[in-house]
Amino acid sequence: MKFHPTPLGGAFLIELEPRRDERGFLARSFCAEEFAAAGLDTEFVQANNSYSEHAGTLRGMHYQLPPSAESKLVRTIHGAIYDQILDLRPDSPTFGQSFGAELTMENRLMMYVPRGFAHGLLTLRSQTEVLYLVSAAYAPQQERGLRHDDPRFGLKWPEPPRQVSPKDASWPDFDLDLHGVEQLRGL
């Protein structure tokens, strides 16, 4: 695997290194030793699989507060997404900055999302399936989110979302206290 740093501290795009032969290829998509050497979480406790029937489906922007703050390793296994992360760590030099990249079944890129980041994705093709590992179990009482169009952050999407869940569309405007971000200090 090749670890490509993003402009946001601790976040990486990870490129697989396929070993090819006449049958196709084999590639590692996770190696605890390589992740540890890069300073990334190596303990994942849950694997999530999302499927979106239509292009333009938006999921996010989600995060969890401590003690359930989670790192994620996101990969598209069918179709394509625009994967976006937002640094919400109050003491980070990149607080409030975002980064996004296309993750497709063809490029096989993965996004490593550190604790203290909000994460969201927009499907770029119909019938898109995403697999992601998380370092903490889902904890509804610690779940937070912000809208994909929150005016404070001005997130840029490659196209307007056409389908957003009522929950994701109804997050209030970002507020440090309301969103619990102060609890992310030190991550």
- So what's the pLDDT on residue 175? 86
Catalytic residue among 62, 119, 148, 179, which?
62
Of the listed ranges 101-115, 128-142, 162-176, the one predicted with least confidence: 162-176
pTM for the predicted model, two decimal places = 0.95
Q: Which pLDDT band holds residue 177 (cuts at 50, 70, 90)?
A: confident
Let me know if 132 is a catalytic residue: yes
Percent of the chain with pLDDT over 70: 100
Q: Cα separation of 52 and 151, whole Å?
A: 26
Catalytic residue among 82, 132, 148, 179, which?
132
Let me know if 82 is a catalytic residue: no
pLDDT in tens, 39-56: 999 999 999 999 999 999
Sketch out the chain's domains with CATH numbers.
2-184 (2.60.120.10)
How large is the average pLDDT for residues 166-177?
90
Beta strands in 17-97 (DSSP E): 19-21, 24-26, 46-52, 57-64, 72-78, 80-87
Please state, in angstroms and as integers, the Cα–Cα distance from residue 17 to each residue in 3, 70, 115, 149, following that order. 11, 26, 26, 35
Q: Which pLDDT band holds residue 63 (cuts at 50, 70, 90)?
A: very high
